[in-house]
């Protein structure tokens, strides 16, 4: 599904990604862990097409197609989704209008009929309920005045609506209370199946108790330095990254 | 045919010719006002950019247009913009058109200035300062008509539409309506002004408003400027707000080749409030200038000003905002913000805030932001599958929506919102 080979990238002349090799097959959930500043968010931005990164080498294919050649909206339309580590506030853009516009853009790209306001509301209400989000959140400006946890839930709501085939969750667990962590994890697990893959970026083993990954990768200094099964996350929790560094 | 003098001389020449025929020619007090104004205009002429208050707006293209007074036969049934309530007063080329107006059964008086002129002694000219504002001098010299509204104490006046239509004619025309709005104690009114004209019309609309908001009264004044693309509007608004009164002005500049929206507000009584907000939506070749002068002359007053400008192509926006907090005006709460969104590298915005504070217990802030569409916001929308053009449109709309959302009165807010959306749909 997603294949990253030898990916190197720079930000403002500084090399951040130093040769990433990673493959996420269809239906699998992989976790990425790694110290602050190791390049996890940079990787997720590069994959979703944010400006400001210079790709200096390597390739990324999504279902065999060259992902890096696509505009951000094309990537989203073909089924890639990034849950932002820091969701962006959009004052003056109503959340309902935003969600409906996004959903219809993606539906149009998939050749599905667009939803009118009533049809959208029906779909949105179901998702809100599953994620235990208050309905008045639809009326507010996108992420404006949302608490940290509300922003993260709003990201997962968007994922649930857009139904991507590949989701990158960048520290979606940070800032969530214990109950919310469970609800959000259930939301991700509900998507699980042969047509859904995910890259879950996290600092905490706890999330991986709820969303059990098929593989765990350690990203350090712009490279994947170790990969393993779910037990790798538990081991890191105990020994920290120093042990990995020694091994690498 | 004689050559038409242009510039200030042209208008003074016409004043000489029309003097005896202008409304109120037999009323000595009117005559005196007009002569004084003519003297002031003779001295000042059209201000050049050397005059501080006109530093960013060059009136040469207006001065040189060679205007006639509006003498053309008026269109019997011009197209009217949508009405927002029941009551509507229509002016065509600055002259009142009772045949197009609906003012029956209102709980307050609506008159045409031409008809009610005699009774306006002491009221007309009480706020305008022709000696200082040359465009007000021009207006005083040549006004023919206008709207006179008096809402008696305690009366809720509801919504009144004021429609100004310019018409197309061979030579560009100039008209200078003088509007007098008075709200007595505890009265309220929502005045929604729409100024427009046919696509090919060239004219100068030079209105002056004298607005008195009485004790505890509330006036919502929405000005929707959608003049013809080649027309000019130079508007000067004078408002005086008494104790506990509220003046809520929102000016939308969407049309005209060049527009000046100049507002002088005097917070004369304690605990008075004024909002001077607005949006300027500029396409290639347009110039819009909003200039506000706010006097906090009593304690415990609050003022809010937020102006937002969207600039496309080679357009130019100007905001000058002066706040003068007098020594007596303790506990003043003032806020001023000017934000511009540049959608083109050729567009230009000038911003000049000016705070003069003579009281010591004052909360007064101002700020200005100029920017392009935020890259992070744009990426967030695109990362959700929204195509770039649509994402940009959403962000511009959001910028403008925020401006309009501050308007308290629901009808005025809806009217302004529709005008903003209409503009954006036409350009996007
Ligand atoms: N625009 C930028 N300009 C300069 N340096 C940048 C820029 N963006 C990212 N970096 C640097 O790139 C490195 C990787 O940042 P990144 O955000 O990818 O880390 P991360 O692994 O997501 O960290 P965290 O766990 O704290 O979220 C950091 O050293 C960061 O300072
Ligand atoms: Mg990060």
Which CATH number is A175's domain given?
Answer: 3.40.50.300
What ipTM was assigned to the predicted interfaces of this complex? 0.96
Would you state the pLDDT for residue B403? 83
Q: What DSSP line would sit under B214-259, residue for residue?
A: -TT-EEEEEEEEE--TT-EEEEEEEEEE-TT-EEEEEEEE-SSSEE
Asked if B89 contacts B103 with a C-beta cutoff of 8 angstroms, the reply is yes
A48 contacts in B (CB within 8 Å)? 383
Is A113 contained in some domain? Answer: no
- Name the residue among B176, B95, B171, B105 with its Cα closest to residue B134: B176
Question: Domain range spanning residue A192?
Answer: 2-92+164-247
- Name the residue among A148, A151, A137, A133 with its Cα closest to residue A96: A137
- Given a cut of 60, whether residue A46 has pLDDT beyond it is yes
- Name the residue among B154, B153, B128, B122 with its Cα closest to residue B141: B128
Is A153 contained in some domain? Answer: no
Q: How far is A141 from chain B (nearest CA, A)?
A: 9
Structure tokens at A217: 């990768």
**CA A109 to centroid of ligand 2, rounded, Å:** 30
Is A241 contained in some domain? Answer: yes
**CA A136 to centroid of ligand 2, rounded, Å:** 29
Bridge-based pairing state of the strands A53-62 and A65-66: antiparallel
Residue with tokens 């019309």: B201
Give residues (CB < 6 A) around ligand 1: A 11-12, 14, 16, 34, 36-42, 85
pLDDT digits (tens, 9 = 90+) for B119-176: 999 999 999 999 999 999 999 999 999 999 999 999 999 999 999 999 888 788 999 9
Look at B273 and B50; give whichever has higher pLDDT: B273
Q: What DSSP line would sit under A133-150, residue for residue?
A: --GGGGTSEETTT--HHH
Asked if B180 contacts B210 with a C-beta cutoff of 8 angstroms, the reply is yes
How many structural domains compose chain A? 1
Is A27 contained in some domain? Answer: yes
The total of other beta-carbon atoms located within 10 Å of residue B107's CB is 12
Would you state the pLDDT for residue B418? 92
| C-alpha–C-alpha distance, residues B154 and B129, integer Å | 30
Would you state the pLDDT for residue B122? 96
Q: Which of A88, A106, A141 sits opposite B385 (nearest CB)?
A: A106
Q: Ligand 1 pocket test: which of A11, A168, A217 has the largest number of ligand atoms within 8 Å of its C-beta?
A: A11
**For the whole model, what pTM was predicted?**
0.84
Q: Which residues of A touch B (CB under 8 A)?
A: 48-52, 71-73, 75-77, 82, 84, 87-88, 90-93, 97-98, 101-102, 105-106, 109, 141, 158, 162
Structure tokens at B89: 């007063």
Residue B11 CA to chain centroid, in angstroms? 22
Q: How far is B363 from chain A (nearest CA, A)?
A: 25
Task: State chain B's mean pLDDT as an integer.
Answer: 94
- Given a cut of 90, whether residue B215 has pLDDT beyond it is yes
B 243-272: CB under 8 A from A: none
Q: What DSSP line would sit under B20-70, residue for residue?
A: TTSTTTT-HHHHHHHHHHHHHHHHH-S--TTSGGGTT---HHHHTT-PEES
Is A50 contained in some domain? Answer: yes
Q: b/e map of A103-142 (b: 16 or more CB within 10 Å)?
A: bbbbbebeeeeebeeeebeeebeebbeebebeeebbebbb
Is A213 contained in some domain? Answer: yes
- Given a cut of 70, whether residue A247 has pLDDT beyond it is no
Is A157 contained in some domain? Answer: no
Q: Which of B375, B385, B400 sits opposite A105 (nearest CB)?
A: B385
Is A122 contained in some domain? Answer: no
Cβ pair A87:B377 closer than 8 A? no
Least distant ligand from the CA of A35: 1
For atom 2 of ligand 1, the residue with the nearest CA is: A11
The burial of B76, by beta-carbon neighbours within 10 Å (0-12 exposed, 13-18 middle, 19 or more buried), is given as exposed
pLDDT digits (tens, 9 = 90+) for B278-316: 999 999 999 999 999 999 999 999 999 999 999 999 999
- DSSP label of A204: -
B420 contacts in A (CB within 8 Å)? none
Q: Which of A50, A93, A158 sits opposite B398 (nearest CB)?
A: A93
Cβ pair A105:B398 closer than 8 A? no
The total of other beta-carbon atoms located within 10 Å of residue B356's CB is 12
Cβ pair A92:B377 closer than 8 A? no
Residue A40 CA to chain centroid, in angstroms? 11
């Amino acid at each position: 599904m997603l294949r990253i080979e030898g990916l190197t990238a720079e930000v403002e002349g500084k090399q951040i990604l130093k040769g990433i090799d990673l493959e996420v097959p269809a239906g699998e959930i992989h976790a990425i862990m790694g110290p602050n500043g190791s390049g996890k968010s940079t990787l997720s931005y590069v994959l979703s097409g944010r400006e400001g990164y210079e790709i200096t080498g390597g390739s990324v294919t999504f279902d065999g197609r060259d992902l890096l050649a696509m505009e951000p909206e094309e990537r989203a339309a073909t089924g890639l989704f990034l849950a932002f580590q820091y969701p962006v506030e959009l004052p003056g853009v109503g959340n309902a209008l935003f969600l409906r516009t996004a959903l219809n853009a993606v539906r149009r790209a998939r050749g599905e009929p667009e939803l009118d306001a009533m049809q959208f509301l029906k779909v949105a209400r179901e998702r809100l309920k599953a994620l235990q989000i208050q309905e008045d959140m639809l009326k507010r400006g996108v992420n404006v005045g949302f608490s940290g946890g509300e922003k993260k839930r709003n990201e997962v709501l968007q994922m649930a609506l857009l139904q991507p085939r590949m989701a990158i969750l960048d520290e979606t667990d940070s800032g969530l209370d214990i109950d919310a962590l469970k609800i959000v994890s259930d939301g991700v697990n509900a998507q699980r199946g042969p047509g859904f893959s995910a890259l879950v970026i996290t600092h905490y083993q706890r999330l991986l108790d709820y969303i059990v990954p098929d593989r765990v990768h350690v990203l350090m200094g712009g490279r994947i330095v170790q990969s393993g099964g779910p037990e790798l996350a538990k081991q890191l929790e105990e020994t920290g990254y120093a042990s990995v560094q020694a091994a690498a | 045919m004689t050559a038409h003098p242009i510039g200030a001389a042209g208008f003074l020449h016409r004043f000489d010719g029309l003097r005896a025929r202008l409304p109120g020619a037999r009323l000595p007090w009117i005559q005196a006002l007009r002569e004084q104004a003519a003297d002031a205009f003779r001295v000042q002429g059209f201000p050049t950019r050397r005059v501080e208050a006109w530093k960013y707006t060059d009136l040469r293209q207006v001065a040189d247009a060679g205007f006639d007074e509006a003498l053309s036969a008026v269109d019997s049934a011009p197209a009217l913009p949508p009405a927002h309530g029941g009551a509507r007063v229509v002016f065509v080329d600055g002259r009142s058109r009772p045949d197009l107006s609906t003012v029956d059964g209102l709980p307050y008086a609506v008159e045409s200035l031409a008809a009610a002129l005699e009774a306006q002694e002491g009221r007309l000219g009480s706020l305008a300062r022709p000696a200082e504002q040359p465009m007000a001098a021009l207006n005083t010299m040549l006004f023919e008509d206008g709207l006179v509204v008096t809402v008696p104490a305690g009366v809720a006046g509801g919504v009144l539409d004021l429609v100004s239509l310019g018409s197309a004619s061979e030579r560009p025309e100039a008209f200078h309506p003088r509007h007098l709005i008075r709200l007595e104690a505890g009265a309220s009114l929502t005045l929604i002004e729409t100024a427009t004209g046919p696509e090919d019309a060239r004219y100068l609309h030079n209105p002056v408003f004298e607005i008195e908001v009485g004790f505890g009264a509330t006036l919502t004044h929405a000005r929707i400027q959608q003049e013809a693309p080649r027309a000019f509007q130079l508007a000067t608004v004078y408002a005086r707000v008494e104790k506990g009164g509220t003046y809520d002005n929102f000016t939308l500049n969407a049309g005209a080749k060049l527009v000046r929206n100049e507002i002088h507000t005097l917070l004369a009584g304690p605990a008075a409030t004024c909002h001077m907000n607005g949006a300027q939506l500029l396409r290639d070749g347009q110039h819009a200038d909003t200039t506000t002068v706010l006097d906090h002359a009593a304690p415990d007053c609050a003022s809010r000003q937020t102006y937002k400008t969207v600039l496309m192509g080679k357009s130019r926006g100007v905001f000058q905002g002066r706040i003068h907090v007098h020594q007596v005006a303790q506990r003043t709460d003032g806020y001023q913000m000017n934000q511009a969104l540049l959608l083109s590298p050729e567009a230009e915005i000038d911003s000049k805030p000016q705070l003069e504070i003579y009281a010591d217990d004052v909360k007064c802030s101002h700020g200005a932001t100029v920017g392009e569409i935020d890259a992070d916001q744009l990426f967030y929308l695109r990362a959700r599958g929204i195509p770039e053009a649509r994402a940009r449109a959403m962000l511009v709309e959001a910028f403008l929506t925020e401006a309009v959302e501050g308007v308290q009165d629901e009808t005025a807010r809806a009217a302004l919102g529709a005008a903003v959306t209409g503009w954006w749909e036409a350009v996007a």
